[in-house]
Structure 1
Amino acid sequence: MSTLAENAMKAGVNMELVMDDGKVQVALMLDRLKNAKVLPIRDDDILLCTYPKSGTHWTWEILNMIVAGKAEYAKHWQNSTWLEYRTKEELETLASPRILHTHLRPSQLPETVWYKGCKVVYVTRNPKDCVVSSYNQLSKQVWKDNPAGKASYTGTWDDFIEFFLKGCIPPVPYFEHAIEWTNISEAKKDFEICRVHYEDMKQDCVREIRRMADYLGRPLSDKTYYDISEACSLMNLKHANEKLKDQTYHFQWQDGASGYFRKGITGDWKNWFTVAQSERFDKVYKERLNETFPY
C-alpha cells in the first residue's frame, strides 16, 4: 500500500518525499530539521514564525526596519536568515539582533528559544489563501537543486487541495503547524509571543507595525511607522527584493513566474475554490482544529 508521500509524488509533487514520524517530509530536510533543533540561539534573537505564504517576506522586512529604526531595506534576502535552511556557520555571521524566520512547529525549534525568552512573532493567514498562493508558487517554482528543472508541483489544482488537507504539501503540514502554535501558550507557560494576522496587516498595516514595535520594546515615531508601511507595500517590496538586494540566497524561477510576490491580497481563494471544495475544506478544518472556519 502506497504512503501519502508516495501518492503525492505520483500526483505531481516533484520533490523526494518521505514519511517521518507519521508525517510527510521533504527528504533533503530531514538532516536540516535535526540540525535546526540544536542551533545556537542568542538571547536577543527575534524569531518570525509562519506557515508558508502567510506574509513572511513582508513581516520579516518590517521587523528589520523596526530594529533599524528606519524604513531602510535589509541588504540580504530573508532566505539568508532561514533557520532550517542556513548552516550554523552562516547564521553565526549575522549581526545581533538576528531576525530569524522559520516555518517550523514549536516542537522543532531549539529548546533554548523558550528558556532564553527570545522574542517570537507568529503570523497567520486565511489558510484558503495560503493554499492558492502555495499552488501558484510551487507550480512555477524551480528549485536550484532540482536537476530536472521541473516546477515543484505539476499536478492538478484539485489534487493540490486534497494533498494540502492531508498534510502532503511541503515544507510543513498545515494542521499540525496550526495546532502546535495555537497551543503554545499552554505548552510554554508565561512565554509571551506576538500574534499577528495577515488580514489585520492588510486592513491597517501601521497599527500592526506599531504593535510589533511595542512588543519588541522598540517604539518609533508615527512618521516612521507610516514610512515602514509604505516601504513594505507589495510593489515596493517586490522591487527591493528583485532589484536592490543581494541575490545570494534567491531561489531560481521559471520564466514568467511571479516569484514570492504575486497579488498580496485577501480573499483570492474565492476565485479558485469551487463550492464543494470550500465546503470540504471547512469540514476538515473543523474536524482537525475543533472550531468553525473563521474566515
Structure 2
Amino acid sequence: MYSVYKGLLVPSMLHTPESLKYFEEFVFRPDDIIIVTYPKSGTTWTQEIVPLIMSGGDPASVETLPNWERVPWLEKISAGTFNLEQRASPRMLATHSPYNMMPPSFFEVKPKVIYVTRNPKDVFVSSFFYHRTASFLVNPGPQTNFLHKFLDGKVRFGSWFDHVKSWLNAEDKELILHISYEEMILDLKDSVGRIAQFLQKSLDDEAIEKIADRCLFKNMKKNNMSNYSGVPREFMDQTKSEFLRKGIAGDWKNQLTVAEAEYFDSVYKDKMKDVKDVKVGFKNT
C-alpha cells in the first residue's frame, strides 16, 4: 500500500513511479505559486484562499474546479493529466515535498512558496482520523501505536520535524511566506491580506473581507469542489470521518491522553531544540 521514495513512505495508489518522475522533471516558472505543507496542515484551506486572492475574490475560481485540479499536487498521479505545461501563468501548484527533495527546476527559477505549518499535535489528530477514512492509506491501528509511528516519521512523507525544519532552513527566504494554521484561525482577514501582499496582488478591504468570509471553515465546507464529496466512497469513506472535520486549533486536547501529550512534548522538545523561529506556540494551542 505504501512505497518508499527517497527514504519517505508514499501511498502507492497516489504516487506511482511515473508520477514521481513527472514531479522530478517538472519545469517551474518564476511566477508559479507553490503551496507547500506537511500533510494535514491546512493545504485544502490554502487551496481555497490563494485562487480567490488571484481572482480578486471571484467565486468561480473555486466553484468550477475541484481543489486538486485548480491547485494540483505535483507528485500525485493526477498531475500529469492536467496539461500544466499549457496552463496560463501564474500557475497555482501544491506539494508535500520536503525542501531538499524539490525538483532541480525549482532551485533554478525560484518561484514563490507559501509554507503552512500547524501544531503537530493537531496534525497528528487530523492524520489519525484521515487514515481511518481513506482506503489508500494504511489503517492507523490504535491511537498510541499511530502516535509512535508519527513521531518516529514512519508515516507518509516522513517526519513532521524534518519537513518543517527543511523549509525553515531553506535558502531565498524572501521568496517563502511562512504562515501558520493557527494564525489563519485567529485572524483570517489579516492572513488573507498577508498572503495577497506576498503575492503582490492588490486587493481592497472589501475584497479581503469577502475572501475571508468565503474561506471560513463553515462556508468552505459547503463547497462541493473543496469538501471531497465527489470522491467515491471506496476511496474515502466520509461516513467514518468527514474530510473537512472540525477546522479548529487545539483539538488534540480532546483526543490525546495526558501521557500521550507529555510524550509528544518530550519528543518535540528534543527534535526542535535547534529551532528558534517556528511560527506556532504549540504547547498552548
TM-score by length of 1: 0.82
Whether contact under 8 Å (2:66, 2:226) holds in the other structure is no
Q: Which residue of 2 aligns with 1:132?
A: 125
Task: Give 3-state SS (helix, strand or coil) of 2:93's partner.
Answer: strand
Let me know the Cα RMSD of the aligned residues: 2.7
Q: Which residue of 1 aligns with 2:278?
A: none
Give unmatched runs, 5+ long, in structure 2.
276-280
Q: Distance in 2 between matches of 1:275 and 1:120?
A: 36
Q: Which residue of 1 aligns with 2:207?
A: 224
Q: Which residue of 2 aligns with 1:253?
A: 236
Q: Distance in 2 between matches of 1:153 and 1:194?
A: 34
Question: Is the aligned partner of 1:97 residue 2:83?
Answer: no
Q: Distance in 2 between matches of 1:83 and 1:108?
A: 12
Matches within 5 A, 1:1-295: 15-18=1-4, 20-27=5-12, 29=15, 31=17, 32-72=19-59, 73-74=61-62, 75-80=64-69, 81-85=72-76, 86-90=78-82, 91-143=84-136, 152-184=138-170, 188-189=171-172, 191-241=174-224, 247=230, 252-254=235-237, 256-290=239-273, 294-295=282-283
Q: Distance in 2 between matches of 1:125 and 1:63?
A: 18
Q: Distance in 2 between matches of 1:165 and 1:246?
A: 30
Deviation at 1:79, TM superposition (A): 1.6
Change (3 A) 1:288 1:239: same
Whether contact under 8 Å (1:135, 1:160) holds in the other structure is yes
Change (3 A) 1:243 1:104: closer
Letter of the structure 2 residue corresponding to residue 79 of structure 1: W
Deviation at 1:115, TM superposition (A): 3.0
Whether contact under 8 Å (2:38, 2:160) holds in the other structure is yes
Q: Distance in 2 between matches of 1:218 and 1:250?
A: 38
Q: Distance in 2 between matches of 1:97 and 1:249?
A: 31
Q: Distance in 1 between matches of 2:227 and 2:175?
A: 35
Q: Distance in 1 between matches of 2:65 and 2:234?
A: 13
Question: Which runs of at least 4 in structure 1 moved beyond 6 Å after TM superposition?
Answer: 243-246, 248-251
Q: Distance in 1 between matches of 2:172 and 2:46?
A: 25
TM-score by length of 2: 0.85
Whether contact under 8 Å (1:36, 1:110) holds in the other structure is yes
**What count of residue pairs does the alignment treat as equivalent?**
270
Letter of the structure 2 residue corresponding to residue 206 of structure 1: K
Letter of the structure 2 residue corresponding to residue 225 of structure 1: I
Q: Distance in 1 between matches of 2:123 and 2:175?
A: 26
Q: Distance in 1 between matches of 2:227 and 2:267?
A: 42
Q: Which residue of 2 aligns with 1:6?
A: none
